[in-house]
Structure 1
């Protein structure tokens, strides 16, 4: 299995927040791509690499970034023997390809004909998430049907359904439908997936996939999606004070 980490975003909201932060506490983070932001005592993306290197199923890790940050990622990747970087060729947010196109770029460039583990480069999970458990669940599904897919989902509150794509599942946790940011009375499900955006639209791909292949959910308690300064502070605080077992995180 190969892992593709999507890291070609420009972090425009976060960079704007950093520039406008009156405290000046986070001035040193200006110009750093979100996946390379320090959370606790390690870069966000490095936490994923540590877990992936520990997983016997993964034999290739590919990171998709943009031309603006390409050299920074190349320098970071020198510490890892299994990580390869690909440049999507864009220089600004208006040129960005989007998540699905970046994923296809990696598949084509590295001629991937294997199972794919797709990871958002600005996303981490709570300590109860286990990559090995997730992989075991995927392999169990594969043993029954080789066309099965597995996605992560967490429960949201009633008032939060309008923020996410909501996955409706059957008794086997197979996804039957995905509703884009529905009101609470439009669905009884509270199983949230990442919000769908027009350009960065992995949710659109998931909607397409559901009608063609078996897609199941793997429940998690929550995630950190670093999009602005407040979400970064929340994530960083968790890894400074609440993470109990640093050595086994994500594994």
Structure 2
């Protein structure tokens, strides 16, 4: 299976930037994209993914791409140079502010357009997310079957359900339903599905079809990556791979917690 990796780093992290502005002890991080925050002994959050990807056969020179924006492209290019990732693998979506952002799914499509040939599977990774240390990328990749996509799930409690995308699966673990931030009484499932999607080549035109169907609608219809999953699952099998949990950098406290966790387990 030929696979490339696409890390999403085009968001503007407005909540984190507000938190940083109000905390003088972290002013040195103002303006730093979440994906490039120093974290747990690495220079940047996404360097954790870079190390894991290269340890599992992904080539820095050929297989790893990052989508970012005009405001942050220079910082991502600096990261790429430090880690021998080609500068033309840092993909600039051209936006300059949170108000003009393309949205998460258009940024996935922007990356897919750059990753050729179209017969390539693509692992889409949220640039503000890491998994707990038990995660085994090799096992995840080995579970991928031709003609289906593969995503991760982890169990959350009732209080978290309204904050995340929840999937319902059949007995074999194939997704039968996707709900974006439901109330706990809307579903018996407690399986959250983070942005870590191994897209089969047959899914790539479906992402485009989803965006075509969303044309003219508001950003809320295609900004969350789960919106694309909701479109995909009736059209292509989406298998699931259980993980123990994830750490998502949203605001300052979650960054502090993530930094402490990875510093203690690195």
2:25 aligned with 1:28: no
Cα distance, 1:135 vs. partner?
A: 0.6
1:227: Cα distance to partner? 1.0
Match of 1:87? 92
Cα distance in 2, alignment partners of residues 6 and 136 from structure 1: 23
**Structure 2 residue aligned with 1:46:** 47
**Uncovered stretches (5+) of structure 2, i.e. residues with no partner:** 196-218
Query: C-alpha distance in 1, partners of 2:114/2:135?
Result: 31
CA displacement at 1:194 relative to structure 2:
4.0
Once the two structures are TM-superposed, the CA of residue 78 in structure 1 deviates from its matched residue by 0.7
Match of 1:122 in 2: 128
Query: Is 1:10–1:92's contact at 8 Å kept on the other side of the alignment?
Result: yes
Whether the aligned pair in 1 keeps the contact of 2:152 and 2:194 (CA below 8 Å) is no
Q: Specify the SS of the correspondent of 2:178.
A: strand
1:108 to partner: Cα distance: 1.4
Are residues 1:55 and 2:78 paired?
A: no
Quote the offset at 1:222 in angstroms: 1.1
- Give 1:127 shift: 0.4
RMSD: 1.8
Shift in Å, 1:197? 5.5
Partner Cα separation in structure 2 for residue 122 and residue 218 of structure 1:
20
Answer yes or no: is 1:177 the counterpart of 2:177: yes
Out of 119, 124, 132, the residue aligned to residue 138 of structure 2 is 132
The alpha-carbon distance between structure 1 residues 197 and 152, as it changes in their structure 2 partners (threshold 3 A), is farther
Structure 2: distance between partners of 1:155 and 1:184: 13
Quote the offset at 1:177 in angstroms: 0.7
User: What do residues 57-90 of structure 1 show as CA deviations (whole Å, max 9, x unaligned)?
Assistant: 5651010000001111111101233452010000
Q: Does the Cα contact within 8 Å between 1:97 and 1:199 map onto a contact in 2? A: no
Partner of 1:10: 12
Further displaced range: 201-210 or 49-58: 49-58
Q: Structure 1: 5+ residue runs without aligned partners?
A: 247-251
CA distance in 2, matches of 1:18, 1:159: 26
Separation in 2 of the partners of 1:238 and 1:56?
26
Distance 1:122 1:202, change over 3 A: same
Q: Give the one of 73, 82, 90 matched to 1:70.
A: 73
Stretch deviating more after TM superposition (195-204 or 52-61):
195-204
C-alpha separation between the residues in 1 aligned to 2:77 and 2:158?
A: 43
**Count of aligned residue pairs for this structure pair:** 235
Match for 2:108 among 82, 103, 106? 103
Residue matched to 1:249: none
Q: For the structure 1 residues 57 and 32, does the alpha-carbon distance in structure 2 shift closer, same or farther, using more than 3 Å as the test?
A: closer
* Cα distance in 2 for residues equivalent to 1:197 and 1:166: 17
The answer to which of 32-41 and 196-205 deviates more is: 196-205
